[in-house]
Amino acid sequence: MFRLFENLVDPFLPREPSVPPSDLLRYLRAQIRPYRRWLPWMGAAGFLKAAVECGLIFYGGRLIDLMAAEGPADFWAAHAVEVTVVALLVLLVRPLVIGLNHLFLDQTLSSNIQEQVRWQSHRHLLGQAPAYFQNDFSGRLTNRVMQMGKAVEEMFYSGFEAIWFALVYVVSATLILSEIDLRLGLPLAAWLVLYILYVRRMVVRITEASETWSDARSDVTGRVVDAYSNIETVKLFSHGESEAQYALSGMRRVRERAQRFRRLMTELGLGMNALNGLMILGVVGPAVWLWTQGTATLGQVSAACALTIRLNGMTGWIMWVATRLFENAGIVREGLRSVSVPHTVTDRARAPALRVASGAISFENLHHRYGKARGGLEHVDLKVPGGQRVGLVGRSGAGKSTLVNLLLRFRDPEGGCIRIDGQRVDEVTQESLRRNIGVVTQDPSLLNRSIRDNLLYGRPEATEAEMIAAAKRAEAHDFILGLRDVKGRTGYDTVVGERGVTLSGGQRQRIAIARVILKGAPILVLDEATSALDSEVEAAILETLYEVMEGKTVIAIAHRLSTIARMNRIVVLDEGRVVEDGPHGELLAKGGLYARLWERQSGGFIADGAATETA
C-alpha cells in the first residue's frame, strides 16, 4: 500500500535541463508539475477530511436537540438506526478519509518532492563553470541546496494539510451557521475576509525578513565550513581566535535577523488573536441571542460555540503553520539566488560528441582578458600537431592557465576559437571534450572516498588489474597497500578524507597521475604535475609520464624547466602573447626570455628575479 503511493511519482525522472525560475511562485509551480495528476485527489481527500470534521460538530449539536426532544426513554427507539449509521461512519469512513489524505500527502508528496528539489538543484549546480564555485562558499551553496528541499516540501505539505483544510473548514462552518440563521454565517464570513486581508498585509514583510534571515544562516554555514576545510592553515597561522570572531560576526547578524522575524511573527499572532476574539463574540453572541428569541435550538447554539472555539484553536495552529510557511518562502527565495543562475558555458542544441583522431589542437586568434583591460591572452595563434609534446612556459600571469582553461572549456573565449582535429570545442559537448583530455594539476583534489573510487574516477569500467597496473606505473601501489583509515579500512579501500587530506601532497599527486594513466585520454595536460614529488620519485614518475605521453598530444605547464626540456617544442608566453616557440636547445641558443629563465633557475625553478625581467 505504502509503496504504491510512494511510486506514483518518480522524483529523479530525467528532464530537459533548464534554468530554474527565479520567481518564487513560478518555481513552486514547476516543482509541483510532476504531481499534477494527483493534485485533484489530494485536494478531494483534504476536502473530505475537513468536511467530515466540521460535520461531526454539526451532528453533535443535532444529537443534543434529539436527546432533549425525545428524552432518555424514547431516544433509542426513535433514533437508534440514525445513531448507528453515524457511529459506523465515524469508525470506518472517517479513518479511511484521513488515511487516504495522509497517504497522498506523506507518501506521494512529502517522500518525493524534497529529494526532487535537491536533485534538480544539485544537478543544475554541477553544470556551472568552475568560476561559479570560486566566487562563493561551498558550504553556503550546500546549505542552500539542502534547505530548499525541506522548505519546498513543508510549503506544499502545510498548504494541503493546514491551509486547504482550514479554508474548507471555515467555508463549511459558514454554510452550516448560515443554514441555522444567516445572521450567524455573516459574522464568520466577515471574519474570514478580515483574516485574509490582515495575513496578506503581513506576508510580504515576513517573507522578506525570512529571506534575509536565511541568507545570514547560509553565510554562517559557509564561514564555518571554510574554517573547517582549511583547519591546517588556521592552525599554522594561529588564527583560531580570529576565525571564531569571523564566525561570531556572522552569528550576530543571524541573531539580529532572527529577532526581526520573530517580532513580525509576534505582531501577526497578536493581530490574529484580536480577530479571533471578534469572531467568537460575533458568532456566539448572536447564537445565544437567537436562542433567547426562540429561533435557535440549544443544539444549534452548542454547534455554533463548538465550531468557533474549534476554529479559534485552529488559528493558533494555522499561525504556527503560517510562521513556517513564510519562513520557508524566504528560504526558497534565498536559495534561488544561487540555484536560478544560468550556466555561463553551455552546449549548443544537438551538439555532437568530439571525435578525436590524431588529437591536433589549434588555437586561432584566441583573445580572453576576463572582461578587463589587462591580463589573460592577447590574440594567440598556436598549432599543436597530433601526438606532439609541447611545454608551456611563462612567468606568473603570462596566460598559461588561461590557455588550458579555455581548452577545457571552463570558460568561453572573448574572441577567436579552439579546434581539436578541426572541430570547434564550443560546438561539441563538454562531456565528450573533457572525456578526451586527461589533466594532472599542481594541487590535485581527491574525493572523500576510497582510493579505489578515486582511481576508478578516471575510467569507471576499468578492471581491478588495470587499476593496480596504473597505480604501479605511478609509483603509488606500494604506499597504497600500507594505508589504513580511522575505521580500519586498508589498502585500496582506505578513505582519504576531504580533498585527500589524510595523504601527503606527493601521495595525492601520484594517485592523481595514476587516475589519468587509467583514463587513457588521447590528449594530456600536465600543470606542474610533479611539483609535489621529491627528486627521486619525480625522476621515476617522469620516466613513466614520458612513456604515457607516447602517441598522445601533450601540453605541459612547468616552472621547473628541467621537467619539460625533453619536449618536442617549448612555447614561451609573456603578457598573454607567444613570444618564443621551438625546441629546448634552439631556444637556449637564441638567448631570449627562455634562455634567461633557464639561466636564472635555482634548483630547477624559475627564480624570483626572473619575474622582474621583461621579454
Gyration radius of the chain over CA positions: 35
Q: Kindly indicate the confidence band of residue 502, based on its pLDDT and cuts at 50, 70 and 90.
A: confident
Count of C-beta atoms within a 10 Å radius of residue 262: 13
Distance CA 229, CA 244 (A): 14
Distance CA 469, CA 552 (A): 19
The whole-number pLDDT of residue 56 equals: 84
The whole-number pLDDT of residue 10 equals: 92
Antiparallel, parallel or unpaired: β 553-557 and 389-393: parallel
Q: Kindly indicate the confidence band of residue 373, based on its pLDDT and cuts at 50, 70 and 90.
A: low
The CATH number of 22-339, from 1.20.1560.10, 3.40.640.10, 1.10.1370.40, 1.10.10.10, is 1.20.1560.10
List C-alpha distances in Å: 161 to 48, 108, 109, 491. Answer: 12, 14, 11, 52
Provide CATH 1.20.1560.10 ranges for the chain.
22-339
Distance CA 430, CA 409 (A): 7
Mind listing the pLDDT tens digit for each residue in 132-141? 888 887 888 8
Report the amino acid identity of residue 113: I
Given a contact cutoff of 8 angstroms between Cβ atoms, the answer to whether 311 and 169 are in contact is: yes
Mind listing the pLDDT tens digit for each residue in 58-68? 888 888 888 88
The whole-number pLDDT of residue 523 equals: 95
Report the amino acid identity of residue 434: R
Distance CA 391, CA 601 (A): 16
Across 104-123, average pLDDT:
92
Residue closest to 177 by CA, chosen among 302, 273, 66, 281:
302
CB crowding 556-575: b at 16 or more within 10 Å, else e: bbbbbbebbeebbbbbbbbb
- Mean pLDDT of the chain, nearest integer: 86
Mind listing the pLDDT tens digit for each residue in 190-238? 888 888 888 778 877 887 888 888 888 888 888 888 888 788 778 877 8
Indicate if the pLDDT at residue 92 is higher than 50.
yes
Across 558-575, average pLDDT:
87
Across 592-604, average pLDDT:
76
The whole-number pLDDT of residue 606 equals: 52
Q: Read off φ and ψ for residue 30, nearest 5 degrees.
A: -65, -35
Indicate if the pLDDT at residue 610 is higher than 70.
no
**Domain formed by 442-520, architecture:** 3-Layer(aba) Sandwich (3.40)
Mind listing the pLDDT tens digit for each residue in 456-469? 999 999 999 999 99
E-strand ranges in 513-568 read 523-527, 553-557
The whole-number pLDDT of residue 613 equals: 37
Provide CATH 3.40.50.300 ranges for the chain.
442-520
Distance CA 84, CA 76 (A): 10
- Angle at alpha carbon of residue 375, lines to 372 and 378, rounded to 5°: 100
Residue closest to 186 by CA, chosen among 291, 297, 286:
286
Q: Kindly indicate the confidence band of residue 602, based on its pLDDT and cuts at 50, 70 and 90.
A: very low
Mind listing the pLDDT tens digit for each residue in 284-310? 888 888 888 888 888 888 888 888 888
List C-alpha distances in Å: 513 to 21, 255, 472, 474, 558. Answer: 41, 47, 11, 6, 16
Across 593-607, average pLDDT:
70
Q: Kindly indicate the confidence band of residue 531, based on its pLDDT and cuts at 50, 70 and 90.
A: low
Report the amino acid identity of residue 195: Y
Across 175-204, average pLDDT:
83
Indicate if the pLDDT at residue 564 is higher than 60.
yes
- What's the DSSP call for residue 490? B
Distance CA 149, CA 56 (A): 37
Residues pairing with 284 in the sheet = none
Mind listing the pLDDT tens digit for each residue in 379-423? 899 999 999 999 999 888 888 889 999 999 999 999 999 999 999
List C-alpha distances in Å: 196 to 29, 170, 262. Answer: 22, 12, 20
Of the two residues 200 and 241, the one the predictor is more confident about is: 241
Across 110-127, average pLDDT:
91
Q: At what angle do helices 240-292 and 298-339 cross, to 10 degrees?
A: 160
pLDDT-wise least confident of 148-152, 231-235, 244-248, 255-259:
231-235
Distance CA 134, CA 433 (A): 22
Distance CA 569, CA 558 (A): 13
Percent helix, strand, coil in the chain, to 5, is: 65, 10, 25
The whole-number pLDDT of residue 323 equals: 73
